[in-house]
C-alpha cells in the first residue's frame, strides 16, 4: 500500500482513526517504526527465540503458567510535565502495577484515543517516551489500537495500557498484611502530584519539583530476590500514601500506625502543599512504593532499597497492629502520630482532590 509519509508539523485528522489508508499510515510511520524499526512485520522476544507477527487482530504469545494481568488509563493534564509525559507514565504505571504483585512485566498493549488536531510531533514525542520507558524494564508492546475523536470530544490524548507479567514471587497480597509488619516507603512522596499540579493551566507555579515517574520492577525485584519476607507492596499513585494505607487497613482489618516525622517529603513539596492547601499524603507518586514487611526484615529491605537510585530515600514510616483488638470500631484505621506525639486519623482521600493526575 502506498501512502503519504507523516511530518511532525502535521496534525491528527479524523481519518487517522477511520480504519483505512490514513490509519495504516499512522500505525506504520509513527508506531511500528518507533517500536520495532522501519518496515518490520515481526516483533522478536526472548532473545529472538520467539516472534510475534504484526497486523493480526491479537498477538499470539508464549505464556508462563502464572500471569498477572492489569489495566490502566492515563488522562494526565498537562501531557508533558517536568520529569515525564503521558507516554512514560503509561508504561511505568502499568509496569509498576505488575511489579507490586511480584510479577516480571512481559507484554503491554497500547490503546490511544487522540483528539483531532493533535500535533503529529507531540505524538511522536510521546511514542518515543513509551519506547524508552518500555526498554527500561524490558517489557514489549505487542498489541495496540488507535481511535481519533473530533475536536472537543477528548483532551489531546488519552492512553490505556494493559499489561501481562510473569508471577515470580507469589503470596504478595494486601490480604496477608498482619500485626507487627513494618511499613516502608521507597522514597519522597508527592513529587508527581506537585509537579503536575504546578504546571497545570491556571496554576503554573515555578517550583523546582520533578515527577518521580519511574518503572520500579528492577528495584522491587532486588528486594524480593534476596529473600526478604514481604507481605504486600503497592505503588502510591492516585490518592497517594493515604489511599494505599487506608486500603490496606480496611482490606486486612488492621490498623496502621505511622510516625508523621518519618515520612520522607521534600521541603519544596511541603511548601507547595501548604501554599495550595493540599494534604501531601494524598498527593500521587508515580515512582514510589509502600512495602509491608515481616518484622526482622525491615533493615535489610531499607539497605537494598537505598542501594538502588529509585530507593535512596527509603524509610521505615510505621507499623501494623491491632488485628486482634476486640473493638471493630477501632480497626481499619490509619493513625498518624504527629511531631508532638499527638495522634490523628489519616483518612481516605475524599472529594475532588486532583483530577487528571495520571
Site for its own copies in 9-28 (CB under 8 A): 13-15, 17-24
In the bound state with its own copies, the residue whose beta carbon lies nearer, of 18 and 180, is: 18
**What is the maximum alpha-carbon separation in the chain?**
73
In the bound state with its own copies, the residue whose beta carbon lies nearer, of 33 and 251, is: 251
N- to C-terminal Cα distance for the chain?
37
**Using CB under 8 A, which of the segments 28-36, 84-92, 206-214, 347-355 binds its own copies?**
347-355
Question: What's the rounded Cα separation, in Å, for the pair 142 and 139?
Answer: 9
Residue 107 lies near its own copies (rule: CB under 8 A): yes
Among 251, 268, 313, 316, binds its own copies (CB under 8 A): 251
Q: With CB under 8 A, what is the number of residues at the site for its own copies?
A: 93
Residue 353 lies near its own copies (rule: CB under 8 A): yes
Residue 316 lies near its own copies (rule: CB under 8 A): no
**Residue 292, all three cell numbers:** 509491608
Report, in Å, the least distance between residue 139 CB and its own copies: 12
Tell me, rounded to whole angstroms, the distance of Cα 355 from its chain centroid. Answer: 16
Residue 51 lies near its own copies (rule: CB under 8 A): no
Residues 155-214 that bind its own copies (CB under 8 A): 155, 158, 160, 162-165, 167, 170, 173-175
**Using CB under 8 A, which of the segments 124-132, 152-160, 292-300, 316-324 binds its own copies?**
152-160
Question: What's the rounded Cα separation, in Å, for the pair 264 and 267?
Answer: 10
**Using CB under 8 A, which of the segments 79-87, 120-128, 142-150, 222-230 binds its own copies?**
142-150
Omega cis (within 30) before 78:
yes
280: which DSSP letter?
Answer: G
Return the bridge partners of 127, or none: none
Residue 336 lies near its own copies (rule: CB under 8 A): no
Residues 64-103 that bind its own copies (CB under 8 A): 64-75, 77, 96-98, 100-101, 103
Question: What's the rounded Cα separation, in Å, for the pair 356 and 358?
Answer: 5
Report, in Å, the least distance between residue 57 CB and its own copies: 4
Report, in Å, the least distance between residue 129 CB and its own copies: 19
Report, in Å, the least distance between residue 357 CB and its own copies: 8
What is the residue whose three cell numbers read 481519533? 148
Residue 327 lies near its own copies (rule: CB under 8 A): no
Instruction: Provide the b/e sequence for 201-231 (b: ≥16 CB within 10 Å).
Output: eeeeeebebebbbbbbbbbbbbbbeeebebb
Question: What's the rounded Cα separation, in Å, for the pair 233 and 101?
Answer: 7
Instruction: Provide the b/e sequence for 318-355 (b: ≥16 CB within 10 Å).
Output: bbbbbeeeeeeeebbbbbbbeeeeeeeebeebeeebbe
Residue 110 lies near its own copies (rule: CB under 8 A): yes
Question: What's the rounded Cα separation, in Å, for the pair 295 and 275?
Answer: 38
In the bound state with its own copies, the residue whose beta carbon lies nearer, of 55 and 339, is: 55
In the bound state with its own copies, the residue whose beta carbon lies nearer, of 131 and 167, is: 167
Amino acid at each position: 500500500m502506498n501512502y503519504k509519509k507523516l511530518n511532525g508539523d502535521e496534525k491528527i485528522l479524523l481519518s487517522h482513526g477511520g480504519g483505512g489508508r490514513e490509519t495504516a499510515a499512522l500505525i506504520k510511520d509513527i508506531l511500528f517504526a518507533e517500536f520495532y524499526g522501519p518496515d518490520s512485520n515481526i516483533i522478536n522476544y526472548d532473545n529472538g527465540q520467539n516472534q510475534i507477527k504484526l497486523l493480526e487482530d491479537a498477538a499470539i504469545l508464549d505464556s508462563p503458567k502464572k500471569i498477572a494481568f492489569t489495566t490502566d488509563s492515563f488522562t494526565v493534564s498537562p501531557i508533558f510535565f517536568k520529569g515525564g509525559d503521558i507516554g512514560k507514565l503509561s508504561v511505568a504505571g502499568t509496569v509498576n502495577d505488575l511489579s507490586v504483585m511480584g510479577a516480571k512485566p512481559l507484554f503491554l498493549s497500547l490503546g490511544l484515543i487522540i483528539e483531532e488536531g493533535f500535533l503529529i510531533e507531540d505524538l511522536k514525542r510521546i511514542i518515543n517516551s513509551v519506547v524508552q520507558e518500555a526498554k527500561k524494564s524490558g517489557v514489549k508492546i505487542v498489541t495496540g489500537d488507535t481511535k481519533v475523536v473530533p475536536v472537543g470530544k477528548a483532551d489531546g490524548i488519552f492512553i490505556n495500557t494493559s499489561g501481562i507479567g510473569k508471577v515470580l514471587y507469589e503470596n504478595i497480597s494486601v490480604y496477608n498484611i498482619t500485626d507487627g509488619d513494618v511499613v516502608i516507603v521507597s522514597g519522597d512522596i508527592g513529587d508527581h502530584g506537585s509537579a503536575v499540579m504546578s504546571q497545570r493551566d491556571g496554576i503554573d507555579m515555578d517550583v523546582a519539583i520533578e515527577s518521580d515517574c519511574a518503572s520500579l520492577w528492577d528495584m522491587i525485584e532486588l528486594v524480593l530476590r534476596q529473600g526478604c519476607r514481604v507481605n504486600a507492596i503497592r505503588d502510591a499513585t492516585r490518592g497517594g500514601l493515604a489511599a494505599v494505607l487506608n486500603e490496606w487497613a480496611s482490606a486486612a482489618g488492621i490498623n496502621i500506625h505511622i510516625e508523621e516525622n518519618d515520612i520522607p517529603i521534600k521541603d519544596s513539596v511541603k511548601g507547595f502543599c501548604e501554599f495550595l492547601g493540599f494534604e501531601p499524603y494524598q498527593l500521587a507518586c508515580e515512582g514510589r512504593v509502600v512495602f509491608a514487611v515481616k518484622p526482622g526484615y525491615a533493615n535489610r529491605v531499607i539497605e537494598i532499597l537505598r542501594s538502588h537510585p529509585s530507593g535512596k530515600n527509603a524509610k521505615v514510616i510505621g507499623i501494623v497492629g491491632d488485628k486482634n483488638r476486640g473493638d471493630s470500631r477501632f480497626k481499619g484505621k490509619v493513625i498518624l502520630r504527629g511531631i508532638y506525639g499527638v495522634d490523628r486519623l489519616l483518612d481516605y482521600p475524599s472529594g475532588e482532590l486532583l483530577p487528571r493526575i495520571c
